[in-house]
Structure 1
């Protein structure tokens, strides 16, 4: 029955900081969102499907991650993304998955949600 993941929804504690994280740092962009009767945003990657929905003006749950540990995105441009994180001083952990060699960058958004960015094993940190 299930054919894929549609989107994640994040309750944003600080609208500006959260949009800056996902759009300015991670490269998503704000796109079409129907009037749902409450403030929020839908963020898109390179496709036409919103991959992240945001709530604004709602209390952030006390248990920050709940039963969902993290959200993961397929990403490109490992060296450039790492440079953006370093330039902003944003904390992250970067390593290669044993066996597959996939590069995994883990960090937290401004509200505490854990985010994983997965890069192809063929990408390199070395300058081309």
Structure 2
């Protein structure tokens, strides 16, 4: 074993400077992350936080907006809380989303797409939310 990996630390969304405003709005308004400290790096961008940890880095390192084909990365999954309020907030904001209960588990998945087409999976633990059999 080379490394003892225990969790995803963060993921970086590469974009152009012009893509930054829409991405910042999506990840703060739709996903609910908070903009926070970012070191003085070579390219413009933002670090977006959940629970005091920067989990999404927006990095304007590209000259052209990437093609919306997703490449080899299918989606990124984030642990989330507040399924019922998330559904309502997405509806109120006219954000398209899909849902899928994960059979054989307590997880309920909600999928949204960021402005560049990256699928974001929000995972809700129905047992922790008191929604087993109700979702």
**RMSD over aligned Cα, in angstroms?**
1.9
Select the residue among 60, 71, 76 that pairs with 1:56: 60
Aligned residue in 2 for 1:43 = 48
Write the mapping of 1:1-128 to structure 2, written as runs, cut at 5 A. Answer: 1=3, 2-12=5-15, 14-47=19-52, 49-56=53-60, 58=62, 59-62=64-67, 64-122=69-127, 123=129, 124=131
TM superposition shift of 1:111: 1.1
- The CA distance in 2 between the partners of 1:115 and 1:79, in whole Å, is 18
CA offset at residue 63 of structure 1? 5.7
Question: TM-score normalised to the size of structure 1?
Answer: 0.88
- In structure 2, the gaps of 5 or more residues are none
Instruction: Report the Cα offset of residue 61 of structure 1.
Output: 2.6
Structure 1 runs of 4+ aligned residues shifted over 4 Å read none
Cα distance in 2, alignment partners of residues 62 and 87 from structure 1: 28
Q: Distance in 2 between matches of 1:19 and 1:30?
A: 8
What is the DSSP-based 3-state SS (H/G/I as helix, E as strand, rest coil) of the residue aligned with 1:42?
Answer: strand
CA distance in 1, matches of 2:35, 2:101: 30
Q: CA deviation at 1:18?
A: 1.3
Q: Is the 8 A contact 2:46 2:57 kept in 1?
A: yes
SS in 2 for 1:60: coil
In the alignment, structure 1 segments of 5+ residues that lack a partner are none
The alignment covers a number of residue pairs equal to: 125
> Would you say the 8 A contact 1:100–1:121 is kept in 2?
no
Query: Aligned equivalents of 1:83 and 1:104: distance in 2?
Result: 15
Q: Residues 5 and 57 from structure 1, CA distance in 2 versus in 1: closer, same or farther, beyond 3 angstroms?
A: closer
